[in-house]
Amino acid sequence: MKLAGFGCSYMWGWPKGDNENSIGYQTAQLLDMKFENFARQGSGNDLIYQTLLTAHQSGKINPNDNYIMIGWSEGFRRKVFYKNKVWEIFRPDTTMDSVDKEYWDQHSDALFSDYFMNTNQMYYDSLKNIIGAYHFLENYGYKYMMFDAMTILNDGQGNNLDKYKVNKFWIPQEFLDMKNSIKNYFTDLQYNHFLIDLKDVAEIWPYYSKTDFHPNEYACKEYAKILRDVIAFGKSDRYPIVPLPEDYEEVDDSGNSITQPLEDNS
């Protein structure tokens, strides 16, 4: 059985598709599976869903050979079509500052605030992707796990968004009920929240660098242990995070330490 990973850079392995920083690869190692990387840095939830469907339809994955792992990403990332162009990875804070800058400058307020960063739109679109993936996986008999690699509803600046309307005209309650009923959706501890806990509680540096806040190898391996436990045993006792002993150390495959004390990166 091979673990097929779908998601953004947290699944892909920052900065160059590196196995040691891929949550899918590290989890596969613990489950004694081979890893197939279908993730792409910057992916939004629509592109993650698209990649899942196309990988199946093209024969790259199948329920007999693949266990599916999906790490959902930020809701404001989208695949966007404009005139004769397409952006598979459209992120308001970065895309508008590059291609067709003059056009985006003229429309940035409306696009950024009224549509792309609209909480209801973000959640509505993401729920459709999540529910669609769930029905697809169940219909074809895949074994799978979903989790939130990043906070779906956030403003792009690290602040959570929670003001959305639930009724038959806005976001149907049935959408929320269906998402909450997905049996293999691990929601106890988001990956990005786990990184914060490592830093604040365990006082271990969890990020790639002082300026790049992708997970490093240590953090990846630690969260992979949680996912492995949930997949294999249905639960994990590795959270909530607690302070670690001063002599605690994690090593890589070569026996080199990958544990960075917080003070080394302050």
Check residue 32 and give left, alpha or beta (phi > 0: left; psi -120 to 50: alpha): left
**Is residue 111 over pLDDT 60?**
no
Residue ranges of domains in the chain = 2-76+120-265, 77-116
| Six-digit token string for 139 | 């219909």
pLDDT of residue 116: 76
Query: Residue 89's pLDDT band (boundaries 50, 70, 90)?
Result: confident
Query: Three-state SS for 259?
Result: coil
pLDDT digits (tens, 9 = 90+) for 240-249: 887 766 666 7
Q: Whole-model pTM above 0.85?
A: yes
pLDDT digits (tens, 9 = 90+) for 164-214: 999 999 999 999 999 999 999 999 999 999 999 999 999 999 999 999 999
pLDDT digits (tens, 9 = 90+) for 120-157: 999 999 999 999 999 999 999 999 999 999 999 987 77
pLDDT of residue 85: 83
pLDDT of residue 161: 83
Between 209 and 82, name the one with better pLDDT: 209
Distance between CA atoms of residues 172 and 146, nearest Å: 22
pLDDT of residue 101: 57
Report CA-CA distances (Å) from 229 to 31, 92, 115, 197, 250.
9, 36, 39, 19, 18
Query: Residue 97's pLDDT band (boundaries 50, 70, 90)?
Result: low
Q: Report CA dihedral (94, 99, 103, 106) to the nearest 10 degrees.
A: 20
Cβ(224)–Cβ(217) under 8 Å? no
Report CA-CA distances (Å) from 243 to 8, 199, 207.
29, 10, 18
Mean pLDDT over each residue of the chain, to the nearest integer: 88
User: Mean pLDDT across the stretch 29-55?
Assistant: 97
pLDDT of residue 188: 95
For residue 192, list its beta bridge partners: none
**Is residue 90 over pLDDT 60?**
yes
**Is residue 119 over pLDDT 60?**
yes
Q: Which residue has the tokens 């598979």?
A: 88
Query: Three-state SS for 115?
Result: helix
Q: How many CA atoms lie less than 13 Å away from 140 in the CB half-sphere?
A: 21
Give the list of residues 6+ apart from residue 249 with CB closer than 8 angstroms, or none. 257, 259
Instruction: Return the CATH fold of 2-76+120-265.
Output: Rossmann fold (3.40.50)
**Is residue 20 over pLDDT 70?**
yes
Q: What end-to-end distance do the CA atoms of the chain give, in Å?
A: 42
Give the list of residues 6+ apart from residue 68 with CB closer than 8 angstroms, or none. 3, 4, 6, 52, 61, 137, 142, 143, 144, 145
Query: Residue 261's pLDDT band (boundaries 50, 70, 90)?
Result: low
User: Mean pLDDT across the stretch 221-237?
Assistant: 96
